[in-house]
Amino acid sequence: DVQMAMSMAPGATILVYEGNNIDDILNKIADDDIAKQVSTSGGYYPASAMLPNIVSEFSAQGQSFYAASGDNGAYTNAIFETTNILIYQPTTYPNMTAVGGTVMTLAQHGGPWVSETAWSGSGGGWDPDVAIPSYQQGISMTANQGSTQYRNVPDISMQAVTLYSLRNNGILVPTSGTSASGPLMAGFTALVHQ
């Protein structure tokens, strides 16, 4: 996560919060109110009762909160309600942004952009407990099989495949997943704010 955020915004100050309880970690980030872009790659179920309040505090303070949408592909309403494996909280909460994954094609290594498509592993679907937000209303959901009644996730997507991280004294290691997309989006937002 740190390498992905740094690769997008190399001059940014990166803060790392660690702990044993996700609510305590996120609450500390909100209380400190230093980080203006926050990303999490961890999903958990069930989400706590405190999470909506913490995410609302982020929003009220101008902190952008990005959560990876998961790497298990699309899920259906029935799966969402009955299977913990595919639910990637906190991606469905209002006042936060779920980040899915894309596959980008370049003309050559380091060359110009050619195309970008949705990554089949990117988590997505809808949450039957959250009404569709205004920014998703009036959009045809026929092609993507989205919901016209409930919040659809992800909200946005970013490169998730054919990425590399440096490990073990400079060895390039291929990596992929929405756990890269979320911090990349946080880094991008840092550049926008700059």
User: Per residue in 59-102, pLDDT tens?
Assistant: 999 999 998 988 888 765 444 443 333 445 566 677 889 999 99
pLDDT level of residue 45 (50, 70, 90 thresholds):
low
Q: Cα(80)–Cα(150) distance, rounded to whole angstroms?
A: 12
Which of 44-48, 102-106, 118-122, 125-129 has the least mean pLDDT? 44-48
Res. 120: pLDDT tops 60: yes
Contact criterion met (CB below 8 Å) for 69 and 119: no
CA-to-CA separations, 100 to 36, 37, 145, 190, in angstroms, rounded:
20, 17, 16, 19
Q: Cα(181)–Cα(79) distance, rounded to whole angstroms?
A: 24
- CA geometry: angle at 193 spanning 160 and 117, to 5°? 25
Q: Give tens-digit pLDDT for 135-158.
A: 899 999 888 888 899 888 899 999
Q: Cα(76)–Cα(173) distance, rounded to whole angstroms?
A: 33
Ramachandran category for residue 113: left, alpha or beta (phi over 0 → left; psi -120 to 50 → alpha): beta
Query: Which pTM value belongs to this model?
Result: 0.87
Q: For all residues of the chain together, what is the average pLDDT? A: 85
Structure tokens at 32: 């400190």
Contact criterion met (CB below 8 Å) for 35 and 63: yes
Q: What is the pLDDT of residue 46?
A: 65
